Amino acid sequence: MMTIDFLSKTRFGPQANEVFKMSANDFDKIIDMDSTEFIEKVNDYITTFQSRQLPRLQELKRYYLADNNIKYRETGRDVDRADNRIASDWAKYITVFMQGYMLGNPISYGSDDNGLLDKINDFSKQNGADYHDGLLETDLSIYGRAYELVYSNSEAQERITKLEPEQTFVVYDDTIAANSLFGVRFYQISYSESNTNSFVEVYTADKIYYYKSESSSFSSMTFVDVADHAYDGVTINEYKNNEERLGDFESVLDGIDAYDLSQSELANFQQDLNDAYLVIKGNPVTGTSEPDYQTDGDGELILDDGGRPIPTSNSSTDVFQNMKQARMLVLDNNNDPDGPNPDAFYLTKTYDSTGAEAYKKRLVDDILRFTFTPDTNDQNFAGTQSGEAMKYKLMGNDNLRKTKERLMTRGIMRRLRLLGNVWSIKNSVSTKGKQEGLYNLINDVQVKFTPNVPQNDEERVSQLKQLYGVISDETLFSLLETFTGVDADTEMKRLTDEKQQEVDNFQEKTGYSQLKPDDGGVNEVQNQG
């Protein structure tokens, strides 16, 4: 069992979340990526990552899985007393809320070039980008960072996949621009208890290098293979949850521990109350055997499997342990000068339920407040409230969401630029302009987030009706997309098709057709009967 310093000292070290860097000049001097010098440098990064950063990532993941530190708290409690370890699932609650709030509605894209927009939407559909983006946001909420790999499959089709933050990092240069020099993915495969192989992949701006170690240590890895790619950039793409790369619930881990402790102690109290000791006064003392503990022929104490001395049968210690197991205390007061005073009662303590509940409520309020998570159990958080009232309750979360959206947009735009480099080579995008202008077109793409919040549909539709005739039909249909699930272009095309169908039906029934204006500019209607 791991040892946990519960609610004491600093939780993570000062280098637990540092960004790896390398001098741009030093990287440019590396000629052979299969050289011993570079392999040792990569191993140094991996060793530093595993010793300084991995423990933080693993602890955050444990909290997301409700495997909180309360599970490993050393209480020193007697084995006959209740020792509950109740872990709350606050971390997952916060993460699921934020992920659903940000990406419950899929990310959409806007572009003046329909050919590029169609290509992006096709790529998103083929790769399940909605689900993929949700996985990225979940990692961002847990770890404060997330990674994806942009690659081409065996059929030269562009693909994206999420990488594990516990097995991935990116090394940046020391310039103000902080350009990524290379990304590292490392993992191990165990074929048996004694046979484990370690693998490392290094992604640069134009190549992928593969290394392998036939042991559980990365220090003995050797170069295996190299492959080219055409993405013209490091294909491991890093996302940040914030500039500090902190998880959404990382700042309230102490509060979660305090809440777990409160819940566990309440459970202990309830269990101990149900198993309260029955105290009986007035009986003679029993247990007269000596010595109290069993010894061997050399006079040494005999220990049980738990390392505890074994009491001698019918010794005072043995009798007392038997009484505890029976939840009973037999006390002798025959030596009372006033004579024996027999009595029997249960040994209990008073529980301040009002104070305990107030304390837990304060902990809950603090956890929600400091993570900008609204309390959905709040009686004032009702579905009958107006949209404006809901906005005020979500204002703190909205401010946080805006920051997260801006940072996620950076990562998505870098993804699109990497893809654009390959699309440009393949000439696979039908754009209005020349192919060399694809990069500029991608830079002009708008990444649109639609918060997934409860809405008063009747109120919302009424507001949109008032905009009819004030804004363009395309803008109006864009606003209606949250209700219909149909984008503006498709909706406008459907309306055009419906109008044309009405015209066709009219002509078929009446036998009339409308001709184009003649040279005199007069509309003529000719009977074709």
Q: What are the pLDDT digits (tens) for 105-154?
A: 999 999 988 899 999 999 999 999 999 999 999 999 999 999 999 999 99
- Residue where the block lists tokens 């102690």: 265
Which residues are CB-neighbours of 495 under 8 A, at least 6 positions away?
A: none
Overall average pLDDT of the 340-359 stretch = 74
**Angle at the Cα of 321 (from 317 to 322), degrees rounded to 5?**
120
Residue 82 has pLDDT above 70, yes or no: yes
**Residue 19 confidence class, pLDDT cut points 50, 70, 90:** very high
First to last CA, the chain: 94
Residues 315, 372: Cα–Cα separation, whole Å:
60
Q: Which of 8-17, 26-35, 72-81, 173-182 has the highest mean pLDDT?
A: 173-182
- Side-chain half-sphere exposure of 6, counting CA atoms within 13 A: 17
Overall average pLDDT of the 30-52 stretch = 93
pLDDT value of position 98: 94
Strand partners, 468: 471
Residues 68, 262: Cα–Cα separation, whole Å:
14
Residue 459 has pLDDT above 70, yes or no: no
Q: 10 Å Cβ neighbour count for 329?
A: 14
pLDDT value of position 529: 43
Residue 381 has pLDDT above 70, yes or no: no
Residues 99, 323: Cα–Cα separation, whole Å:
54
Which residues are CB-neighbours of 372 under 8 A, at least 6 positions away?
A: 396, 397, 399, 400
**Angle at the Cα of 67 (from 368 to 146), degrees rounded to 5?**
70
pLDDT value of position 281: 67
Residue 387 has pLDDT above 70, yes or no: no
DSSP string, 197-236: EEEEEEE-SSEEEEEEESSS-GGG-EEEEEEE--SSS-SE
pLDDT value of position 257: 94
Q: Which of 135-139, 301-305, 322-326 has the highest mean pLDDT?
A: 135-139
Q: What are the pLDDT digits (tens) for 220-270?
A: 899 999 999 999 999 999 999 999 999 999 999 999 999 999 999 888 877
Overall average pLDDT of the 479-500 stretch = 77
Residue 312 has pLDDT above 60, yes or no: yes
Longest dimension (CA), the chain: 133
Comparing 30-34, 90-94, 297-301, which segment has the lowest mean pLDDT? 297-301
Q: Are 441 and 421 in contact (CB under 8 A)?
A: no
**Residue 59 confidence class, pLDDT cut points 50, 70, 90:** very high
DSSP string, 66-102: T--GGGG------TTS----PPP-HHHHHHHHHHHHH
Q: Return the percentage of the chain with pLDDT > 70, whole number.
A: 80
pLDDT value of position 525: 46
**Residue 470 confidence class, pLDDT cut points 50, 70, 90:** confident
Residue 275 has pLDDT above 80, yes or no: no
Overall average pLDDT of the 457-482 stretch = 71
pLDDT value of position 29: 87
Question: Given CA atoms 90, 92, 96, 98 in this order, what sign does their dihedral have?
Answer: positive
pLDDT value of position 433: 52
Q: Are 419 and 121 in contact (CB under 8 A)?
A: no
